[in-house]
């Protein structure tokens, strides 16, 4: 069987020591904003777009300065994490679909969530402090990366 892979972008948005998560309807998991990278879209731009669409917030991504900048080549902003996520596995363990997830951290100016268009209700979003992430059943990677994002944004 062939494994299909799609690029996705995820952004842990942080304000005042907490990160925003929503409970995914189909998966039943608490997740930060994110989604598929569209054709001809750079991953960091997809992350910014997804945050605006899903939360209505305007993210400021934590990005390192480009290392290479010439007239022909430039460095892309590096994600904080680059994850390979198994999305669909067949009986027997063979993986049919994966996401290559570019994970970014971002600061936002408020906690007022007002999604654009047909995105989920603001009531589906909650802000998680490190303590709440440790206590809640959000999954190991969301807990670990969420706390890392809160600490990284707090240091800037």
Domain residue ranges in the chain: 5-155
- 104 neighbors 47 (Cβ within 8 angstroms): yes
The Cα 143–Cα 139 span in angstroms is 6
The CATH homologous superfamily to which domain 5-155 belongs is Nucleoside Triphosphate Pyrophosphohydrolase (3.90.79.10)
3-state secondary structure of 156: coil
Q: What pTM was computed for the model?
A: 0.91
The closest alpha carbon to 110, from 94, 125, 95, 91, belongs to: 125
Walk along the chain (156 residues) and give the pLDDT tens digit of each residue: 788 999 999 999 999 999 999 988 777 889 999 999 999 999 999 999 999 999 999 999 998 777 788 889 988 889 999 999 988 877 777 888 999 999 999 999 999 999 876 666 778 899 999 999 999 999 999 999 999 999 999 987
């Amino acid at each position: 069987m062939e494994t299909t892979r799609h690029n996705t972008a995820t952004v842990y948005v942080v304000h005042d020591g907490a990160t925003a998560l929503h409970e995914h309807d189909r998966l039943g998991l608490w997740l930060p904003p994110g989604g598929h990278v569209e054709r001809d879209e750079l991953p960091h731009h997809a992350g910014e777009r997804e945050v605006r669409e899903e939360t209505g917030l305007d993210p400021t991504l934590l990005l390192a300065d480009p290392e290479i900048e010439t007239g022909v080549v430039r460095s892309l902003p590096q994600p904080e994490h680059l994850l390979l996520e198994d999305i669909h596995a067949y009986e027997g363990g063979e993986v049919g679909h994966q996401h290559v997830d570019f994970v970014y951290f971002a600061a936002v100016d408020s906690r007022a969530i007002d999604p654009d268009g047909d995105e989920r209700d603001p009531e589906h979003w909650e802000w998680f402090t490190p303590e709440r992430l440790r206590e809640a059943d959000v999954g190991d990677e969301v807990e670990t990366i969420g706390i890392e994002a809160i600490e990284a944004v707090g240091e800037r």
